[in-house]
Amino acid sequence: MARPFEAFSGNNDEQAVHEFLRNEARIGNIESRAREYLDDRTYRNKICFDSGEYSDALELYAPVGSYIIQNIMDHQQDLDTIHLRRPAPDMLPIKILKIADEPDSYIIPSEILNIDAILPRSSQYRLEAITCEINQHNIVFMKHLSTNKWYYYQNDYTCEQFNNNLNDNLNQILHSRSSIEQKRLIESTHFLISMIFYNAVQYIYVRVDN
C-alpha cells in the first residue's frame, strides 16, 4: 500500500508534503472538537446566571420569521430577566427552541456576538460551531477560526471540508448584517447550506479574549 507521501512528485514535493500534513492535522483537530460538541456532557453547567442557577445553554425561542441573534441581544427580546454572572464563560452555547413547526421560523447566528445586554463589559464571542438534527441524526458544522473554512462531522463518519462555493455561501450569510438579505441568501443558496439554518439546534460561541 502506497504511503501518503508517494502521491507527491515534482519540484514542490516538500511544500506539498508540509501542506498535506497541516491539512491532516487541521482535520484531526476539527474532528476531535466536533465529537466534543456532539457530547451533551461538554455543555454541563456552562452558563451561570446572576441568580446563581446553572444551565447547559442560553435558550432562545424562534418565532415565525427570521431573526439575527445579535438583534435579539441588542433589543433584549425575551431577555429582560436574563443576566449572566462573572466570570464570562469561555463557551456560550445558544439553544434554539421553536414556538411553532414553521419552515420560516429560524434564528440566524451572528458571526461575532456582543453580549453586553446580559453581561456588561464582557468580551465578544465568535461563532465556532452549529449543531443540527437532520433526519434524526446529529451533525455538527465546525468553523476553523484561523482559516474561516467550514467542516461537517457526524459520528462514525469522516470529517469533511466544504468546497469553496459552499464555504463562501455560508460565510456570506453570516457576514451580512441585514436579516432581509440573510433570509434571501438562505432561501436561494445550496440546499446543504439552507438545511443548516432550518435544522439548527444549537449555536456554539467561544470567547474572544483581547
CA dihedral 33, 36, 161, 25 (to 10 degrees): 30
Cell of 96: 434554539
pTM score > 0.75 for this model?
A: yes
Domains of the chain are 13-208 (3.90.70.10)
Q: Which helix (H) or strand (E) holds 193?
A: helix 191-198
The whole-angstrom separation of Cα 77 and Cα 163 is: 36
pLDDT in tens, the chain (210 residues): 444 434 444 556 665 544 544 555 567 788 888 889 998 899 899 888 888 899 999 887 766 667 788 877 776 555 556 788 888 889 999 987 766 566 666 778 888 998 888 888 888 999 999 999 888 889 999 999 888 999 999 888 888 889 999 999 999 998 887 778 888 888 888 888 888 888 888 999 999 976
The whole-angstrom separation of Cα 122 and Cα 116 is: 6
Which residues pair with residue 17 across a beta bridge?
none
